[in-house]
Amino acid sequence: MNIAILASGNGSNFEAIAKAIRRGQIRAEVKLLITDKPQAFARFRAKKLKIKDIFINPDNYPSRLLFDKKLVEVLKIDKIDLVVLAGYMRILSPYFVKKYKNKILNIHPSLLPRFKGVNAIARAFNHGSKLTGVTVHFVDSKVDHGPVILQSSILIKKSMKLKSLEKEIHKLEHKLYPLAIKLFAEKKLKVRGRKVAIN
Ligand code: GRF
């Protein structure tokens, strides 16, 4: 199974997935990293991991659709079976979502549908939530909305600081995302409407 990872920033999930594959945890290959930000730290990780890294400059494409058409072109070259969003900050066009229906995954640092969108960890913390977590889901045309594959929770203890919650969330992400990808690679996920059955 050929994977492309799309990231805009740090890329710690990208690295965790690539390493899980190299450990033999998932039968797949990360064929390439695609970024929309020239300075994304994920690109340095790709160099270190010797994974092909492609930067597509949004400034060269007058619309979201044209950008995503370029994306599809690039994905086709490497015969990509699964698109993994890992801190990818661009909204995908309906064209792209349709093209890769049920073949795009995303990870979000909250228990969806709570705290969709940016700064989810801090928002859950500042809200005074006692429980938060991580969600891996299929991507549909709405942001942080598609069918949920896996969720895992974290208790926010009274003494906990935001920094340590962030650390725990990321640690959990680095386990949960590879697991969801493994289930996908083993064809164990069946999507029926909003529900994902795990066989
Ligand atoms: C993660 O918290 C992920 O849940 C969210 O963006 C962040 C990306 O982190 N979608 P990283 O770039 O993988 O370190």
pTM: 0.97
Whole-number average pLDDT of the chain: 98
All residue ranges of the chain with pLDDT < 50 are none
Pocket test residue of 10, 123, 125, 175 for ligand 1, highest count of atoms within 8 A of CB? 10
Q: What is the pLDDT of residue 44?
A: 98
Strand (E) positions, 114-198? 131-138, 148-155, 189-192, 195-198
Q: What is the pLDDT of residue 60?
A: 98
Instruction: Residue 53: count other Cβ atoms within 10 Å of its Cβ.
Output: 20
Q: What is the pLDDT of residue 192?
A: 97
Ligand 1 centroid from CA 10, angstroms? 7
